[in-house]
Structure 1
Amino acid sequence: MDRRELAAFLRSRRERITPADVGLPAGPRRRTPGLRREEVATLAYISTEYYTRLEQARAPRPSREVLAGITRALRLSDAERDHLHHLAGEPPGPAPGPSREVRQSILDLLNRLPQTAAFVTSAAYEVIAWNDLAAALMEDFSAVPRRERNLVRRVFLGSRPLAQRLYGVSNADSFARTAARRLRATAARYPDDPEVAALVAELLAGSAEFVQLWASHDVSAEHTLVKAFQHPVVGPITLNCDVLEIPDRDQQMVLYTAAPGSPSEEALRLLAVIGTQRMDVTL
């Protein structure tokens, strides 16, 4: 265990993250660059005293569970996670939870699709990247907390009409079945991830529909090829839906496109001009 290098690495990663990145309020008197130590400790489910000692190079070797918590709290990339483990003298194992890091090439691709509403979801159905047209069509994801960007939480625990309007759930029942099946498979791949476990527990406690679907133990997802939106500004839009797998990150890119020459194509063109400035959705 290289305590000094570990301490320096933790400080550098903590200071680069803003409170907004993890769904925390910035507050008017924040002077610490990035997150505070106690905030990292809370997000990692460890004591503030122990995390402070890690950054001061005074702590004993952290366990794999502690390292997994710190990885999630600091939003480390796969390479950074492995580096953290090596510094702690603990060889890295499989990824502890769904990756939220989107490859730069994927981010570039999103921005190179001006006539396509495109976004990326994690294995837990969290929207983690999107282009401008997706924000105009669905919702300005940057304006809502990270927790509210989870599609499966919205469809089971939110208002169905709202979920349909925001996320293009033309067949809410079909989307719910697919979401429950994919989430069961995700929970099996990441059995030790507390966020996935907490999401499943929340859905089981709050949705009788999810309880019924979860009890079926189905894992084969259905595929919806057409999505219908009722947009508050441009009206109804019917779009083709294609889903591309990003296997190395266990993520999906969702692409919404309109048939050439259709009224929906004209609506998408209008949305590309309007952007999110005239969105009047009330959450």
Structure 2
Amino acid sequence: MAQREELTRFLKAARARIAPGEVGLPAGERRRAQGLRREEVATLSGMSVTWYTWFEQGRDVQLSAAMLERLTGALKLNPQEREYLFALAQHRPPPLATTPDDVVHPAIQRMMDSLTIPAQVLTEDWTIIGWNRIVTHLFRDYSQLPPSDRNLFKILMLEPRYRSQQYGYEEMARKLTARLKWDYSRTTRLEVFDALIAEMLEVSETFRQFWNESEIVAHFEGMHTLEVAGVGSITMQHTSYVIEEAPGQRMMIFAPVDELSASRLRSVVEAMPAA
């Protein structure tokens, strides 16, 4: 009951702060209260006045995710308010944001730059948008690639250096595809994923094979071994984490799995030229 009361308070406050002119409505002469009326919010959200009124009053009615998204737009909610609305209404997080967040927050970049292990940030469609200098030194220099070529899924699936490792490549490709299926099921940017999937179906027989299988992976971890000239092999485990300030982004970090790999990674980092 307390959450229903909070939902009512939140919705009333959200519509009260919006001037009719902000959404293209006339101010009118007989507005007893500040902001939008319930019927105006209902119209802007594409739902019946009765249904919205019951929802705002805290009655036991359920709105679909699509209706909540329209209500988010009508009330001009920011990402945190959108998440709050979904939590109160459906007791679960909302789908990934409908608008891409393709800029790395400065605090995240500073944190990556302070690490002594590789770290990179990718969007929900696997496009790399941020990285630290260790990634550039050990993996690849993304700054030398056009943004359209920075998709990590395509890089790992299509680059010859990965495909040459036949057993390891097939196992990696199977897991990558299973994780891509999970991301595809949650996205609201279907056109982006549909284009990526169509391209991969056309150019990769391995992808076609695993895409037609039923395996799905919600959390992807794995090992990555590098051969570094003059240093030797470094084995790292990669994990990824959702960034709280940008739910559509994930940070991947690569941690050495043993002391020998850690020692070799330290020597590589210490030998890197100063920024």
Query: How would you bin the TM-score normalised by the shorter chain?
Result: 0.5 to 0.7
Runs (4+) of structure 1 moved beyond 6 Å?
Answer: none
Unaligned runs of 5+ in 1: 3-77, 83-92, 278-283
User: What's the C-alpha RMSD, in Å, of the aligned pairs?
Assistant: 3.4
User: Deviations 1:117-164 (Å, cap 9, x if unpaired)?
Assistant: 111122222221111112111111111222222121122233143787
Q: Per the alignment, do residues 215 and 99 of structure 1 end up closer, same or farther by CA in structure 2, a change over 3 Å counting?
A: farther
Which one of the candidate residues 100, 103, 116 is aligned to 1:101?
103
Q: Per the alignment, do residues 218 and 161 of structure 1 end up closer, same or farther by CA in structure 2, a change over 3 Å counting?
A: closer
AA aligned to 2:182 is A
Q: Per the alignment, do residues 129 and 210 of structure 1 end up closer, same or farther by CA in structure 2, a change over 3 Å counting?
A: same
The residue number in structure 1 matching 2:254 is: 256
AA aligned to 2:112 is L
TM-score (norm 2): 0.56
AA aligned to 2:234 is I
- d(CA) in 1 for partners of 2:241 and 2:172? 17
TM-score (norm 1): 0.55
Measured after TM superposition, the shift of residue 233 of structure 1 is 5.2
Does structure 2 conserve the Cα–Cα contact (< 8 Å) formed by 1:98 and 1:190? no
User: Deviations 1:191-221 (Å, cap 9, x if unpaired)?
Assistant: 5443322111100111111112111243224
Does structure 2 conserve the Cα–Cα contact (< 8 Å) formed by 1:135 and 1:275? no
Does structure 2 conserve the Cα–Cα contact (< 8 Å) formed by 1:234 and 1:267? yes
Does structure 2 conserve the Cα–Cα contact (< 8 Å) formed by 1:170 and 1:227? no
The residue number in structure 1 matching 2:143 is: 142
Relative to structure 2, which stretch is displaced further, 194-203 or 176-185? 176-185
User: Deviations 1:236-267 (Å, cap 9, x if unpaired)?
Assistant: 111233322326423221111225742x2232
RCO comparison, higher one (Cα < 8 Å, 6+): 1
- d(CA) in 2 for partners of 1:261 and 1:189? 38
The residue number in structure 2 matching 1:40 is: none
Asked whether 1:215 is paired with 2:212, we answer: yes
Asked whether 1:185 is paired with 2:182, we answer: yes
- d(CA) in 2 for partners of 1:105 and 1:162? 36
- Aligned residue-pair number: 185
Unaligned runs of 5+ in 2: 1-20, 23-77, 83-94
Asked whether 1:172 is paired with 2:164, we answer: no
Asked whether 1:117 is paired with 2:118, we answer: yes
Where does 1:8-157 land on structure 2 (aligned, <5 Å)?
95-96=97-98, 98-113=100-115, 115-157=116-158
Which one of the candidate residues 205, 216, 226 is aligned to 2:202?
205
